[in-house]
């Protein structure tokens, strides 16, 4: 059955509806440039309310396994592919990508000229979009995703205790912490002040969907926590730490979503490849300068991470937990651990 993706700027492209029973969806159209990693990306909570366009022309060829989910369900509102292949081959795969999307009633469109579509999004900027079976549909305004923190839960049995403040965390962040000897308490962000009763060795502010300014009501709590414990902020968590310290954020024209974004560490002069998924960034040279820039994006010079010169505060815009993408920034978790042991950050960079 024929279907369409219509953008807010009027562009309409035809394709084939993947699931005729689910022909309609709306969301912010964003694009992901990785060649692999679709399972992790589709289940990453930071993609809530978005229609995800895959730039790589063949997606789905290694199927879906039971291990690589970043959360319990797909988080996107819809997906667009050039080819979303039905046949798959991988020793761990249990069903096809198409079957996964159909199971969760996620509308998707394939056989779309995704190259043309993405070039249009790149020149017009991120826009709202609609997937539909009806040509010339209207694209309604899209609401920002609601942050909804989950349940409090405890994981791992390490000696050190990290509280992970949950804005919609990726499972791989939890795994990276447990692998580094942490007992982790996941705390929904609405209850973040309960961290003071838990007396952890450190606190991690997670990734999450939407605009960080939606969470303005929590910034004083974020700052209070950053004054009391060694803290690491990842993606949305980084943006919140910045806002809490008087910095500002802005929206990028079409975001960074992929597995090969080069980042420069200004401390060491080293460049490494990172996994990224964000629309918003911390503005350069704004605010109080209480936090300093540690990392920057090599392609567009945007801020990729901050630190506090005297306190144990580190934040990264990229995803050190990878999944999908390169693992060469996993050492950020080791640096967080060194901060907790009071041997990192201040000692290293004073
Ligand atoms: N991965 C994330 O945490 C994304 C943060 C925020 N939602 C953004 O798009 O910039």
User: Would you list the domain boundaries of the chain?
Assistant: 2-132, 153-349
Identify the CATH number of the domain defined by range 153-349: 3.40.50.880
**Whether residue 85 lies in the annotated active site:** no
Q: What is the pLDDT of residue 349?
A: 45
Q: Which residues pair with 29 in a beta bridge?
A: 51, 127
The active-site residue out of 147, 235, 278, 308 is 235
Ligand 1 touching residue 210 (CB < 6 A): yes
Q: Is the ipTM of this complex over 0.95?
A: yes
**What's the CA-to-centroid distance between 273 and ligand 1, angstroms?**
18
Residue 243 phi, psi (nearest 5): -60, -40
The active-site residue out of 8, 70, 304, 321 is 321
Q: What is the pLDDT of residue 344?
A: 57
CA distance 237 to 187: 13
The topology under which CATH files domain 2-132 is Glucose Oxidase; domain 1 (3.50.30)
Ligand 1 touching residue 257 (CB < 6 A): no
| Atom of ligand 1 at shortest range from CA of 208 | 3
CA distance 220 to 342: 24
**Whether residue 321 lies in the annotated active site:** yes
Per-residue pLDDT of the chain (350 residues), as tens digits, is 999 999 999 999 999 999 999 999 999 999 999 999 999 999 999 999 999 999 999 999 999 999 999 999 999 999 999 999 999 999 999 999 999 999 999 999 999 999 999 999 999 999 999 999 999 889 988 778 877 668 999 999 999 999 999 999 999 999 999 999 999 999 999 999 999 999 999 999 999 999 999 999 999 999 999 999 999 999 999 999 999 999 999 999 999 999 999 999 999 999 999 999 999 999 987 666 899 999 999 999 999 999 999 999 999 999 999 999 999 999 999 999 999 987 655 444 43
Residue 85 sits at the vertex; the CA angle it makes with 256 and 16, to the nearest 5 degrees, is: 85
**Whether residue 235 lies in the annotated active site:** yes
């Amino acid at each position: 059955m024929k279907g369409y993706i219509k953008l807010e700027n009027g562009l309409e492209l035809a394709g084939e509806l993947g699931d005729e029973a689910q022909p309609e969806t709306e969301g912010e159209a964003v694009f992901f440039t990785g060649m692999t990693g679709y399972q992790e990306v589709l289940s990453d909570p930071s993609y809530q309310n978005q229609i995800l366009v895959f730039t790589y022309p063949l997606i789905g060829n290694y199927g879906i396994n039971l291990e690589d989910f970043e959360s319990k369900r797909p988080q996107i509102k819809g997906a667009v592919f050039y080819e979303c292949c039905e046949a798959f081959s991988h020793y761990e795969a249990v069903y096809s990508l198409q079957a996964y999307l159909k199971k969760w009633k996620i509308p998707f469109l394939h056989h779309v000229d995704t190259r043309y579509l993405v070039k249009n999004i790149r020149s017009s900027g991120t826009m709202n979009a609609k997937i539909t079976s009806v040509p010339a549909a209207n694209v309604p305004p899209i609401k920002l995703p609601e942050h909804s923190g989950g349940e409090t839960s405890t994981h791992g049995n390490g000696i050190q205790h990290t509280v992970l403040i949950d804005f919609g965390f990726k499972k791989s962040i939890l795994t990276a912490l447990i692998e580094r000897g942490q007992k982790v308490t996941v705390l929904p962000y609405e209850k973040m002040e309960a961290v003071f009763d838990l007396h952890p060795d450190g606190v991690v502010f997670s990734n999450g969907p939407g605009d960080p300014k939606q969470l303005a009501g929590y910034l004083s709590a974020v700052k209070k926590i950053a004054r009391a414990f060694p803290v690491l902020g990842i993606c949305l968590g980084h943006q919140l730490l910045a806002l809490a310290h008087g910095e500002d954020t802005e929206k990028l024209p079409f975001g960074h979503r992929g597995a090969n974004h080069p980042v420069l560490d200004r401390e060491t002069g080293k460049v490494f490849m990172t996994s990224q998924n964000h629309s918003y960034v911390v503005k350069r040279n704004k605010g109080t300068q209480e936090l300093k820039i540690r990392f920057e994006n090599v392609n567009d010079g945007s801020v990729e991470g901050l630190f506090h010169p005297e306190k144990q505060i580190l934040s990264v815009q990229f995803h050190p937990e990878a999944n999908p993408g390169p693992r060469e920034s996993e050492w950020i978790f080791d640096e967080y651990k060194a901060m907790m042991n009071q041997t990192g950050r201040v000692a290293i960079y004073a």
